[in-house]
Amino acid sequence: MPISNYGLWKCTPSSWNGQASSTHGHLEFNDGTNSNKTYEADVNISSTGSDTRLVYWFVSNFNPKQPSTAKLSALDMGFSAQKGSSSLALDFLREGFLTPSAGTLVSHDPSDPTEKGDISAYVDPVMNQAVQEKATLYIWGSHYSDTNGSEGIHDIHMNQGDSGSFEKENGTYQDGGIVIQFADGSWHGIFLAFATETLKTDDNGDPEGQTFAQALGGGSSSGTATEYANKSHATKGSVGIEAAVVNPKGPDHEATKGKGERIYVQNRGASDVSLKGWKIENGHGQVQLLGDDAQVSAHSKHCFEVPEAELGNRGGKIVLKDADGHTVSEVSYTEKQAKKEGHLLYFAN
């Protein structure tokens, strides 16, 4: 049978703890329907199964036909039940707002949650920013009310394609996820699945074909995200610019109190990729050469500061080139996007 009490909660986040437990991050939020009530959301950062890894998608500029941002904006605050393809229900595999094969396998190590292949390195910056800026959240999952008075939402992940103990909860148009609407008008989505779920499902949501672990090059092991780093089939096609800070805190052209302008390069592949001889360019011919030891690990990302390639606050482009001078990834941003100091910009890749 499908998951119970499936729906969508429109709300405002008040706090995020990405390390609340070994398996879940904890979000607290309000929805304006009861000023004395704080609700909670449990977001998986690990699986309790034999393969503990998750699959992560970050969708920048979220604007699908279904569910449309116009319909989401018009929705009243609070929880609303959703059912079927004609509603605002999510389906990872049928509505085209993400590419299943473009997910990133991520692990979680409670002893080192800042490790760049850890799911916390992906989710925490986005959720912390949403809390700081009092963004509007749209959370899909299963509504619950506990006997102790707590109330919230869980199952905030793909809910189909499972052949394990949760197979009985498979179904279509009942996937969980988080979409964030920032005050600047940008929309971004965080979507998660279990590595043991499949890229295709039948009309009942039951599994067909490869699991994400198999399709994304991670096998079926429960090891860390870099376990397969020595395989020889690493490809530059798995590498791209994920995000950037183009306007760090502090006066322009002067040293900042913290980190300066920086680029986050992501590797979705199953092997480490050496970036020896690679370079990052802006749109004005300035070049930041990457060191001989530069690399980005499998299923991970790496931060590179770019003091030699200034990122202008009036909009621009960022280009990542390999050692042969070929463009591997190119992104652009507007003056409006660069306006906020310290703001992390995410790009579609």
pLDDT digits (tens, 9 = 90+) for 284-311: 889 999 999 999 988 888 999 999 999 9
Residue 290 falls within a domain, yes or no? Answer: yes
Residue 151 CA: distances (Å) to CA of 6, 83, 95, 147: 14, 21, 29, 9
Confidence (pLDDT) at 269: 81
Averaged over 187-211, what is the pLDDT?
95
Looking at the structure, tell me whether residues 79 and 211 fall in a common domain.
Answer: yes
Q: With 70 as the cut, is the pLDDT of residue 230 above it?
A: no
Residue 227 falls within a domain, yes or no? Answer: no
Domain boundary among 149, 184, 215: 215
Looking at the structure, tell me whether residues 57 and 126 fall in a common domain.
Answer: yes
Residue 348 pLDDT class (50, 70, 90 cuts): low
Residue 221 falls within a domain, yes or no? Answer: no
Looking at the structure, tell me whether residues 53 and 124 fall in a common domain.
Answer: yes
Three-class SS state of 290: coil
Three-class SS state of 105: strand
Residue 230 falls within a domain, yes or no? Answer: no
Averaged over 125-131, what is the pLDDT?
93
Least confident of 8-12, 163-167, 215-219, 285-289: 215-219
Which residue in the block uniquely carries the two structure tokens 């703001």? 343
Averaged over 214-232, what is the pLDDT?
43
Looking at the structure, tell me whether residues 164 and 311 fall in a common domain.
Answer: no
Residue 199 falls within a domain, yes or no? Answer: yes
Residue 226 falls within a domain, yes or no? Answer: no
Confidence (pLDDT) at 94: 96
pLDDT in tens, 20-74: 888 899 999 999 999 889 999 999 998 888 788 999 999 988 988 889 999 999 9
Confidence (pLDDT) at 174: 98
Residue 200 pLDDT class (50, 70, 90 cuts): very high
Confidence (pLDDT) at 243: 87
Looking at the structure, tell me whether residues 32 and 164 fall in a common domain.
Answer: yes
Q: How many domains does the chain have?
A: 2
Domain boundary among 164, 186, 215: 215
Contact 230, 271 (CB under 8 A): yes
How far, in whole angstroms, is CA 222 from its chain's centroid?
21
Averaged over 96-111, what is the pLDDT?
84
Residue 228 falls within a domain, yes or no? Answer: no
| DSSP code of residue 222 | -
Strands 239-245 and 262-267: antiparallel
Q: What are phi and psi of 174, to 5 degrees?
A: -150, 25
Task: Return the higher-pLDDT residue of 130 and 338.
Answer: 130
Q: Which amino acid is located at 315 in the chain? A: G
Q: With 70 as the cut, is the pLDDT of residue 115 above it?
A: no
Give me the domain span that covers residue 199: 6-215
Averaged over 276-283, what is the pLDDT?
93
Confidence (pLDDT) at 251: 58
Q: With 90 as the cut, is the pLDDT of residue 257 above it?
A: no
pLDDT in tens, 235-244: 456 899 988 9
Looking at the structure, tell me whether residues 148 and 293 fall in a common domain.
Answer: no
Looking at the structure, tell me whether residues 121 and 196 fall in a common domain.
Answer: yes
Confidence (pLDDT) at 222: 32
314 Ramachandran zone, left/alpha/beta (phi>0; psi -120 to 50): alpha
Domain boundary among 183, 215, 247: 215
CATH of the domain at 259: 2.60.40.1260
Q: What is the mean pLDDT of the chain?
A: 86
Looking at the chain, the whole-number percentage of residues with pLDDT higher than 90 is 58
Confidence (pLDDT) at 111: 58
Residue 258 falls within a domain, yes or no? Answer: yes
Task: Return the higher-pLDDT residue of 190 and 268.
Answer: 190
Looking at the structure, tell me whether residues 279 and 203 fall in a common domain.
Answer: no
Least confident of 238-242, 253-257, 334-338: 253-257
The Cα–Cα gap between 226 and 301 comes to 11
Confidence (pLDDT) at 108: 76
Looking at the structure, tell me whether residues 191 and 289 fall in a common domain.
Answer: no
Looking at the structure, tell me whether residues 192 and 98 fall in a common domain.
Answer: yes
Least confident of 154-168, 195-209, 257-271: 257-271
Looking at the structure, tell me whether residues 247 and 336 fall in a common domain.
Answer: yes
Looking at the structure, tell me whether residues 14 and 161 fall in a common domain.
Answer: yes
